[in-house]
């Protein structure tokens, strides 16, 4: 682009003259505080706002004109969406609107719980692996093995062993996510160990636990937070996939995956049963992903320009 503009504006024999600089630069308005942070990171503002809205919707579900999401009403089966049934009713006459709102709870609980447990356990394993030489080889071989099983298949396999419950879904997805977190933490730990300030701490006789706590741990938190957001998003998708194929949340609990699984048989004639939970699931995952992208850009400015 620059070459073509030059060719157009500069003919042979012309002299390029720089435009005069303004004498006084306009004052840069720096917004401070939390609002300023949101202003500088619109992705976090949008993702976080959407997320808060969805959390509020899940928590306040009983107040948002819902009915009992499990109440059967055989006489009012598969009604199209209307003023009475905003999202219609399913093949057992249950109100899809109420089911979708309550279903948000399962997705959020699974997403947050998996993000939390996978981060904590992954952090512990990563720290051990980064500091204990003999354990590192063994742990990393196990993680390599687990990582070579596609994570959703790993979760499916674990669910096949147990009866469906929200706790088991969280456990299965957490196990499938741990290898990635521990690899990330280990990588960070190994690079931090080479830092001069860690050498200095070792030389001045600081104990290993104290080095881990004061020098290593704080530096792993930024990448770990970003990773946790992405884990939250993929856990929500994994929960819906598990429920959708019938190996996840038990059918009596409304979850977005369950609603879609039940609507599957009728989706060609009553597509709304599948589409409403699908829209909510996609929006929620989108919100978490936006939050993750925003956090990554905000916490690690070097990464911002790259991916």
Interface residues toward another protein, by CB under 8 A? 3, 141-142, 144-146, 148-154, 156-157, 159-162, 233, 237, 240-241, 244-247, 260, 267-268, 271, 274-275, 278, 281-282, 285-286, 289-290, 293, 305-307
d(CA 139, CA 157): 21
Phi and psi, residue 64, nearest 5°: -95, 50
The residue among 144 and 300 lying less far from another protein, judged by its C-beta, is 144
Identity of the residue, 72 or 265, whose beta carbon is nearer to another protein in the bound complex: 265
Q: Which is nearer to another protein, 123 or 274 (CB)?
A: 274
User: Across the chain, how many H-helices and E-strands are there?
Assistant: 13, 0
Q: What's the Rg (C-alpha) of the chain?
A: 26
In the complex, the smallest distance separating the C-beta of residue 198 from another protein, rounded to whole angstroms, is 29
Q: Residue 157 phi/psi, 5° resolution? A: -60, -45
In this structure, what is the dihedral angle of CA atoms 57, 60, 64, 67, given to the nearest 10 degrees?
A: 110
Rounded least distance, CB 143 to another protein, Å: 9
Considering the complex, what minimum distance in angstroms separates the CB of residue 152 from another protein? Answer: 4
Helix (H) or strand (E) holding 152: helix 151-161
**162 or 208: whose CB is closer to another protein?**
162
Residue whose CB is less far from another protein, 169 or 211: 169
Judged by beta carbon, residue 83 or residue 160, the one nearer another protein is 160
Contacts of 138 (CB under 8 A, 6+ apart): none
Q: How far is the CB of 82 from another protein (least distance, A)?
A: 20
Cβ-count burial 275-305 (b if 16+ within 10 Å, e if not): ebbbebbeebbebbbbbbbbbbbbeeeeeee
Nearer to another protein, 175 or 201 (CB): 175
Question: ∠ CA 256-119-178 to the nearest 5 degrees?
Answer: 80
Contact 111, 288 (CB under 8 A): yes
CB of residue 11 vs another protein: minimum separation in angstroms?
A: 20
- What is the closest distance, in whole angstroms, from the C-beta atom of residue 30 to another protein in the complex? 24
Question: Taking the complex as a whole, how short is the minimal distance between the CB of residue 265 and another protein, in angstroms?
Answer: 12
CA–chain centroid gap for 220, Å, is 18
Residue 290 near residue 297, CB atoms below 8 Å: no
**3-state class of 257 per DSSP?**
helix
Q: Are 229 and 285 in contact (CB under 8 A)?
A: no
Closer to another protein by CB, 186 or 215: give it.
186
We find the least distance from the C-beta atom of residue 251 to another protein, in angstroms, to be 12
């Amino acid at each position: 682009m620059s070459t073509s503009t030059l060719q157009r504006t500069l003919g042979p024999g012309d002299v390029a003259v720089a435009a005069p600089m303004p004498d006084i630069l306009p004052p840069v308005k720096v917004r401070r505080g939390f609002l300023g942070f949101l202003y500088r990171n619109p992705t976090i503002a949008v993702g976080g706002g959407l997320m808060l809205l969805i959390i509020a919707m899940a928590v306040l579900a009983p107040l948002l004109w819902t009915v009992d999401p499990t109440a059967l009403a055989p006489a009012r089966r598969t009604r199209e969406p209307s003023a009475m049934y905003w999202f219609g009713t399913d093949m057992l006459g249950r109100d899809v609107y109420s089911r979708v709102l309550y279903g948000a709870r399962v997705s959020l609980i699974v997403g947050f719980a998996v993000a939390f447990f996978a981060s904590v356990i992954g952090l512990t394993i990563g720290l051990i692996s980064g500091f204990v030489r003999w354990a590192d080889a063994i742990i990393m071989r196990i993680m390599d093995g687990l990582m070579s099983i596609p994570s959703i298949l790993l979760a499916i396999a674990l669910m096949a062993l147990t009866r469906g419950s929200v706790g088991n879904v969280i456990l299965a997805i957490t196990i499938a996510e741990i290898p990635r977190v521990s690899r990330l933490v280990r990588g960070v730990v190994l690079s931090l160990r080479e830092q001069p300030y860690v050498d200095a701490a070792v030389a001045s006789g600081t104990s290993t636990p104290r080095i881990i706590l004061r020098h290593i741990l704080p530096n792993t938190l930024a990448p770990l937070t970003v990773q946790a957001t992405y884990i939250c998003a993929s856990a929500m998708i994994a929960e819906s996939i598990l429920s959708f194929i019938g190996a996840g949340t038990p059918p009596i609990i409304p979850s977005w995956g369950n609603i879609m699984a039940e609507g599957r048989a009728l989706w060609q004639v009553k597509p709304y049963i599948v589409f409403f939970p699908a829209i909510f699931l996609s929006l929620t995952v989108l919100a978490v992903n936006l939050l993750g992208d925003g956090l990554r850009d905000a916490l690690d400015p070097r990464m911002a320009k790259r991916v």
